Structure 1
Amino acid sequence: MHNLTEFLARYKHWFLFVFLEVTSVVLLFRFNDYQGSVWFTSANFVTGKVYELSSNLTSFFTMSKNNEQLTQRNIILEQEVKELSTKLYEKTRDPQFLSRGQYRTLAKFRLIPAKVVANSINREDNLITINKGSWDGVRKDMGVVCGNGIVGTVYFVGIHYSVVIPVLNSKSNISCSISGRNYFGYLRWAGGRSDIAYLDDVPRHARFKIGDRVITSGYSSIFPVGVLVGKVKHVYNSKDGLSFRIAIQLSTDFGTLRDVCLIDDSSILEQRHVIEAARDSMKNLTQDPTSEE
């Protein structure tokens, strides 16, 4: 207490000076219109800058969430454009295309946005790691897409991260079809270039041309029908000569892949459960030695 009293006594002149300065400034700006307007303008400018800085900081910290929402919306819009383009193309070739049913798009499904945190394109068995896991609703065997088309299938699910088997993996095997032609085969990657894969087992009587779109067929329990895969680039004969092998120019650029979405569809999940139940039933039937003839 003695030290505080001594400090105030020593610097009392400075305290008095500051008090008088503040009082004079208040009186100056309060009772003079010109000085008051200058103060009001300056205060508003400073306040505006503070609010602007606060808004920029808030936008920065919410940027990741906004990007995820934009990615999800972009994928939906991309698929809607492809749907309209395909319908227009089919209509010019076949006026009865509407009778073949509705063209399903990703807009009908719940999409889980995710970011790629690890990726490779130069190995035989490439893998992609994303920043979403079981905590976010990710399940094994979910289909993964991006704004340009198909990406791959969820292989392993952790709590906060998951591993995806992309098209660029020797174990990837996805049922695809040629849009508007109703011919299908299985998409496989043979290594080498990251923008080329091959559609195998296409029947020899199939009729198509270079540049035709290739989409998911919907015959698997992973992808719905209509997700873009790429375009027909070249046609070869299979090794046994009984079918075609088609080189596909992939629509997805795996080298720059950053944002993806996982397809969460209850009907696909139900279809997968039915298929698995049927397989288990067939195994039990063939392994049961007491089954009646």
Structure 2
Amino acid sequence: MDTLLDFIKKYYYWLLFIILEVISMIILFQNNSYQGSVWFTSANTVAGTINGWYTEVISYIQLKDVNKQLTSENIYLQKQVADLRRALDETLTETTPNDKVIADSLKGFKLIPASVVSNSLYKENNYIIIDKGEVDGIKTDMGVVGGGGIVGIVYLTGPHYSLVMPTININSNISCRVRHSNYFGYLQWSGGSVNHAFLNDIPHYAHVKIGDYVETSGYSSVFPSGLFVGKVTKISNAPDGISLQLNVNLGTDFSRLKDVNVIYNTCKPETDTLRVRFNRAGL
């Protein structure tokens, strides 16, 4: 209290000056319409600028959540487009109207959002680490997708983190097909550019052209069919000489990959059980 009184005694003339200035400004603006309008306009301009800055800062902070939401929605849309395209093809080839309704394009699949915390780009055995693990329901052999297309397959899991084998790993081998056809092969990467991979085992008689889209075939329990993989940029003979090798420009930009989704196939336990029973039967 004594310190406050000493401060007021020491600077009372400055405090008195400020108080009188404020009073004079109030009287000036209240009794003079022109000065009052100038003050009101200036105050609104300053307040508007500050509010604009605040809105931009809040929007920037929320971009991460918005990006995650858009990534998940993009994956759902890819699957819906694939299902609708397949339904349209069936309608055009059948003599009677197609009465199938695409009620739930991702039936049997669940998306678990995750973020990339580490990845490698310049190795033969590249990997990606995501911030979701066993406590989040992640298991090995689950597919991983991003906003640009497929990313890879979960290879190792820990309690809170998982390691993903991406398509840009020389051991990656994912069943894919050329869109609008039933010709499928295996997407593989031989090193080098992280923007390209090869689709092998496509028969010579397949009608494939540069610019065709490559998507997941759905012939495994890892990925549903119709998820975007990339575009064909070159067609050549495979090393075995009996099939085609397609150079595929991958849709996923691994150098900027941040938000992904892990695909949980709710039907996989049942199909795995059937495979085990088949193997035990020795057929």
| 1:278 match | 274
| 1:30 match | 30
Please say if 1:197 is aligned against 2:193: no
| 1:290 match | none
* 1:107, distance to aligned residue in structure 2 (A): 6.3
* 1:139, distance to aligned residue in structure 2 (A): 3.7
Aligned pair count reads: 277
* 1:10, distance to aligned residue in structure 2 (A): 4.7
> Does the residue aligned with 1:48 lie in a helix, a strand or coil?
helix
* 1:159, distance to aligned residue in structure 2 (A): 4.8
| 1:142 match | 142
| 2:119 match | 119
Q: What residue ranges of structure 2 are gaps of 5+ in the alignment?
A: none
Q: CA–CA distance in 1 between the matches of 2:4 and 2:122?
A: 73
* 1:28, distance to aligned residue in structure 2 (A): 1.8
| 2:245 match | 246
* 1:199, distance to aligned residue in structure 2 (A): 2.2
Q: CA–CA distance in 2 between the matches of 1:104 and 1:171?
A: 37
RMSD of aligned residue pairs (Cα, Å): 3.8
Match of 2:243, as an amino acid?
F
Does the 8 Å contact 1:213/1:230 carry over to 2? yes
| 2:266 match | 269
Q: TM-score, normalised by structure 1?
A: 0.74
> Does the residue aligned with 1:170 lie in a helix, a strand or coil?
coil
Q: 2:93 aligns with which of 92, 95, 100?
A: 95
Match of 2:269, as an amino acid?
H
Match of 1:262, as an amino acid?
N
What whole-Å deviation, never above 9, does each CA across 1:30-77 have from its counterpart, x for those lacking one? 222222222222222222222222212211211211122233334444
| 1:291 match | none
Bigger mean CA offset, 76-85 vs 34-43? 76-85
Match of 2:266, as an amino acid?
L
Does the 8 Å contact 2:235/2:245 carry over to 1? yes
* Distance 1:18-1:125 versus aligned 2 partners, 3 A rule: closer
| 1:289 match | none
Match of 2:223, as an amino acid?
F
* 1:172, distance to aligned residue in structure 2 (A): 1.8
Does the 8 Å contact 1:114/1:261 carry over to 2? yes
* Distance 1:30-1:125 versus aligned 2 partners, 3 A rule: same
* Distance 1:257-1:37 versus aligned 2 partners, 3 A rule: closer
Does the 8 Å contact 1:110/1:264 carry over to 2? yes
* 1:222, distance to aligned residue in structure 2 (A): 0.5
Q: CA–CA distance in 2 between the matches of 1:182 and 1:156?
A: 32
Q: CA–CA distance in 2 between the matches of 1:219 and 1:236?
A: 24
Q: What residue ranges of structure 1 are gaps of 5+ in the alignment?
A: 287-293
* Distance 1:86-1:119 versus aligned 2 partners, 3 A rule: farther
* 1:161, distance to aligned residue in structure 2 (A): 3.5
Bigger mean CA offset, 21-30 vs 10-19? 10-19
* Distance 1:35-1:237 versus aligned 2 partners, 3 A rule: closer
Q: CA–CA distance in 2 between the matches of 1:166 and 1:224?
A: 17
* 1:167, distance to aligned residue in structure 2 (A): 1.4
Q: CA–CA distance in 2 between the matches of 1:180 and 1:15?
A: 81
* 1:244, distance to aligned residue in structure 2 (A): 2.4
Does the 8 Å contact 2:151/2:166 carry over to 1? yes
* Distance 1:6-1:91 versus aligned 2 partners, 3 A rule: closer
Identity of counterpart residues, as a percentage?
A: 40
> Does the residue aligned with 1:51 lie in a helix, a strand or coil?
helix
What whole-Å deviation, never above 9, does each CA across 1:142-198 have from its counterpart, x for those lacking one? 212233322211223345543211112233222223333323333333334430223
* Distance 1:238-1:13 versus aligned 2 partners, 3 A rule: closer
Larger radius of gyration: 1
Please say if 1:183 is aligned against 2:183: yes
* Distance 1:106-1:116 versus aligned 2 partners, 3 A rule: farther
> Does the residue aligned with 1:69 lie in a helix, a strand or coil?
helix
Q: TM-score, normalised by structure 2?
A: 0.76
What whole-Å deviation, never above 9, does each CA across 1:248-268 have from its counterpart, x for those lacking one? 414325453424532535xx2
Q: CA–CA distance in 1 between the matches of 2:177 and 2:2?
A: 92
| 1:171 match | 171
